[in-house]
Structure 1
């Protein structure tokens, strides 16, 4: 006789299934339809997806009911079919699971990361309705997944516990592992949810395996329940109008063992994962024997303090100085741009210390991203102004198409001009749904080509509307370029279009292969604008694996990954700088433009590499630039 779910995960690690929505998207079902309605209109399609996961080794199937609640279905005129859709979803999964597999009824967050879009009473009614339908059809358990705050999780959990002692898996979606959207640390969330009757505490969506591993680490010492882990296949890349995920099945298999070692008893996949990912997880955990869960110790519950910075003294405006542009400088000598991420809170102390250290190292410009990876950070416009006024460093500011419509983009550029910030990098921007505020919208009024052209239009004294301006701007506009692609020639052709749109210089994604640096030089030698070759020192072995497997546009060589494997802390950073210097040996020979990216605010690393560039070029710092 098959054991129930609680007995099953007590004795072994169960293999969960993978993505449903993104898998259907890959099969040609468009975004904008109700995938849950397919339980009624195309049950054979849903059944086939379930069967592929079972054949790959999945032991636990989630019903295709994630958004099958009254609120979500009402957007498609399906609110009267909540019961019918949920019951059909369970029946289809049950048939595919067979006598040995388990079926859990999937219930997703209704708020979806938005705090006030639906009342508490409505939430309770909608959860109650969906739970009743799932339980009536005979599921083996309930999975509450992709919840962003403890409050909504407790609402859903309480509705289950009112009517059943069925096993409940409670999964949060957290991009920043520190806190839920309603302010609870992960250890606090664990304590609250476990006290309210959850059987499993876990994570899904929002991040890839590396983020999930970090999330599990926050629970060490307090976690007494089994954990569940359903990561995305890395960070989604938006290419040619499609979402693509890069984390390989082999990487998932490797990470699955680490999850199990940290107490995960159900391991599957979320967005971007496929039966191939599940097959690797299943293979990696064959004959795996889990260790007993640790005893509880709540002494480590976080008590994070908010650190306030001192009120800065009043800054003077930055005036356009007429100093040579980066394009002018790089024609004459090696020129170094260093990226330093704006802080994610209100304390700029460390950021400014980093800017000052990089200034002393001799960088030519400090560049700041525009909420990269769709994660909210301090305004790079404000920081650019502060950096220049306090240190004298030239700010180079990224501007993304994602966050502002045409009105906001022109307004933003006019603000840059008023502050004298004249160097910008135009980027598309990562989709908002994959950042820390998934309920926010991606605007994309402009493509990266169009934003370059329209910024240069301001240099002609013409507004985006076509109306004349009273004066002309003086923007020097950069374009982003990813050389870590299979067909470099096609990527260069795309870059040529950006240059035709008006790009003045190019900044590349980080490169970790000396041979690729040489190939890139050969492939771009016909271009008449400077290229700043990107190099980001690795901070640890884990950092290397994360970048290689989960971050779009970054590819590490096997040799680099092997050298970084297992290295952490100072040892890892030391090796990262060493590898960075070796890359600079090649990069400085073929490119005068160097673009260094600072990992995790370890600005000492990029300061060392900046000084190494000057050693290579035998440049002596002069008062002209400092």
Structure 2
């Protein structure tokens, strides 16, 4: 006889299932439909997905009812089908799996991280309707997932507790900030959930394994009070040619499942981007696992180092800063207009450095970094446009401040994600008015996977189209075809990801960007000298300069995160082994050393160097910039500060 779910969790770690929505998407069902309606339209497909996860080893099976409330279904005109969809969801899951599986009713947030104008009484009424149908259909418990606010999650939990004593799993969607979106610390939020009757608390969505590991480390002291559950995404999604893909492999999920278990997780499954293969790998890794005291393989500080957007304190600079006294950008040529970046890179080695805009209102450290890089004589400072769909300060505003206060050339990223055609042209006209003429056109990471998942991705333009339209401004012609009275003078770059299985196909895509008008190319970071040589051989026929991307690693945890969860980045086995479990000063030193070795190779083939600063640790990219000048023979004196 099957144990009660609460008792089962006291004795075992249970494997949860994986994604439903993104898995259906991979099977060919488009975005923009109600995946829950497929319970009625394609019951055989939904049952087959449940069956695949069960056969992979999942014993916590979620009903396909995540968005099956009246409010969410009304978007598709399905508000009258709440009962039918929820009832079918339970029946399909129950009939598709064995008697040893626990079928839990999946309930998702109605507000979804937005401050939607939905009355609390209406939200409560909609949740109660769904809960009653799921209860009547015979679920073994409830899984409340992807909630952003404690207030809404408590509302659902208390509604269930008025109707049932079945086990309830409560999960927040978090990006590792340590608080819910309504500002409650995670330990306090978990304590309130426990007081209100939660049986399991945890996290899902928003982050891959690395992010959820950091979140779990923040609350691991509570694991004796309540079991934890984790359902991470398969890394950060990539959006290429209108399709979402995920980078994290089943093997990586197997490795991190053991770390989750060490930290006290009793239910471990997968969210967006995961497949039966991910679940099978975790189930195999957890076979015979015996829970023991939490002992993370990397401490919390190393995990924070690996996290995108978490800034480290700047190191004190002790090495001399090299002063360039010959060529463009010299110490004595202030006020002399330099050639644009395309003309400059044809003459000599040229360094572009990326520095991320802050996620808060404090720009002091950012401006300190810009000044330090100016003193290191970088040729341009580039700023991303809310990379990874994480909200940051406007790169247009910071670009202007950098230009005015340091004299550095700003190079601004322009993402297709955030602005429609009206906003994009207006943005470009503003850049022109400010005298900022170097830009990089990128697609932009999907908004729903960033820190404001309730926001929309626009994508009025593709990366090819935005390049073409910006170059049209150089002809004095607006996007609408009207005359602009003056011509702009934008130098437009395009992004290139060489970390792919078929490099020739990536080069063909790059050729299309050049045909659209791209003046120069900036690559994703490369961590393999053999790949640098292959890039050269594959692109030497192109007539535009290429800036090879090199990003120094900050720690072993940082290396592991980038390799497994960030699209477009792959580290060689040799680099990952060298980084190992290094952290702190040792990790940064090894990261700089590896980057120097990559520069030794890159500078043989390319004049363009694109350095990316990790976690605002600009001292690392200052050292690497100085190294480029040393190797290229552009330095004759030094100063220290």
TM-score (structure 1 length as normaliser) = 0.93
Distance of 1:330 and 1:103 partners within structure 2: 61
Q: 1:293 Cα deviation (Å)?
A: 8.1
Structure 1 residue 571 corresponds to structure 2 residue 572: no
The answer to whether structure 1 residue 116 and structure 2 residue 116 are counterparts is yes
**2:351 equivalent to 1:362:** no
Aligned residue number for residue 250 of structure 1: 251
- Give 3-state SS (helix, strand or coil) of 2:616's partner: coil
192 and 293 in structure 1: CA distance in 2 versus 1, 3 angstrom threshold = farther
1:374 counterpart residue number: 389
Aligned to 1:29: 29
Instruction: Give 2:606's match in structure 1, choosing from 591, 600, 608.
Output: 591
Find the partner of 1:423 among 414, 438, 451: 438
CA distance in 2, matches of 1:33, 1:452: 31
Q: C-alpha displacement at 1:74, in angstroms?
A: 1.8
Secondary structure of the 2:614 match is coil
Write out aligned runs for 1:83-98 (5 A): 83-98=83-98
1:540 CA drift (Å): 1.2
Distance 2:441 2:31 in 1: 27
Matches within 5 A, 1:95-244: 95-223=95-223, 224-244=225-245
2:79 matched to which residue of 1?
A: 79
Which residue is equivalent to 1:301?
none
Q: Any idea what the Cα deviations from partners look like across 1:187-244, whole Å, max 9, x if unmatched?
A: 3322322222211111111111111111111213344311111011111111222111
1:336 has 2:351 as partner: yes
Shift of 1:5: 0.9
Whether the 8 Å CA contact 1:320–1:420 is kept in 2: the answer is no
Match of 2:404 in 1: 389
Mapped partners of 2:256, 2:123: distance in 1: 36
Q: Contact 1:226/1:293 (CA < 8 Å) preserved in 2? A: no
* Displacement of 1:72: 1.5
User: Which residue number in structure 2 is paired with residue 350 of structure 1?
Assistant: 365
- Aligned-residue offset at 1:168: 0.9
Alignment equivalent of 2:513, drawn from 470, 487, 498:
498
Equivalent positions of 1:415-494 (< 5 A) are: 415-494=430-509
Distance in 2, Cα, partners of 1:95 & 1:159: 27
> 106-115 or 563-572, which moves further after superposition?
563-572
Give runs of ≥4 in structure 1 deviating > 6 Å.
Answer: none
How far apart, CA to CA, are the structure 1 residues paired with 2:389 and 2:48? 34
Instruction: Give distance in 2, aligned partners of 1:20 and 1:392.
Output: 51
Find the counterpart in structure 2 of residue 44 from structure 1.
Answer: 44
TM-score of the aligned structures, taking structure 2 as reference length: 0.91
Query: Cα offset for 1:176?
Result: 4.4
Asked if the contact 1:11–1:290 (Cα under 8 Å) also holds between the matched residues in 2, the reply is no
Whole-Å separation in 2 of the counterparts to 1:621 and 1:193: 64
Distance 1:481 1:552 in 2: 12
Partner of 2:309: none
Counterparts in 2 of 1:262-341, with a 5 A limit?
A: 262-291=263-292, 322-341=337-356
Deviation of 1:621 (Å): 7.0
CA contact (8 A) 2:220 2:264 kept: no
1:463 match: secondary structure: coil
Given that residues 262 and 294 in structure 2 are in contact (C-alpha distance below 8 angstroms), is that contact kept between their aligned partners in structure 1? no
Indicate conservation of the 8 Å contact 1:539/1:599, yes or no.
yes
Please report how far the alpha carbon of residue 502 of structure 1 lies from its aligned counterpart in structure 2 after TM superposition.
1.2
2:70 is the alignment partner of 1:55: no
**In the TM superposition, what whole-angstrom CA distance separates every residue of 1:329-369 from its partner, at most 9, and x where no partner exists?**
11111110110100000011111111122122221111000
CA contact (8 A) 1:146 1:173 kept: yes
Q: Do 1:362 and 1:621's aligned partners in 2 also have CA atoms closer than 8 Å?
A: no
The gaps in structure 1 that reach 5 residues or longer are 295-318
Structure-2 residue corresponding to 1:315 = none
Tell me which residue corresponds to 1:542: 557
1:582 alignment partner in structure 2: 597
State the alpha-carbon separation in 2 of the partners of residues 146 and 98 from structure 1: 27
Structure 1, 284-293 or 436-445: larger mean CA deviation: 284-293
1:586 Cα offset (Å): 0.2
> Hey, what does 1:311 align to over in structure 2?
none
User: Which moves more between the two structures, 13-22 or 321-330?
Assistant: 321-330
SS, match of residue 444 in structure 1? coil
Larger RCO (alpha carbons 8 Å, 6+ apart): 2
Aligned-pair CA distance for 1:375: 0.6
Which of the numbers 584, 600, 624 marks the counterpart of 1:609?
Answer: 624
Report how far residue 175 of structure 1 moved: 2.5
C-alpha distance in 2 between matches for 1:94 and 1:464: 54
Task: Determine helix, strand or coil for the equivalent of 2:219.
Answer: coil
Corresponding residue of 1:316: none
DSSP 3-state at the match of 1:600? helix
* Conserved? CA contact 1:405–1:445, under 8 Å: yes
In the other structure, the counterpart of 1:408 is 423
Following TM superposition, by how much is the alpha carbon of 1:501 offset from its aligned partner in structure 2, in angstroms? 1.3
RMSD: 1.7
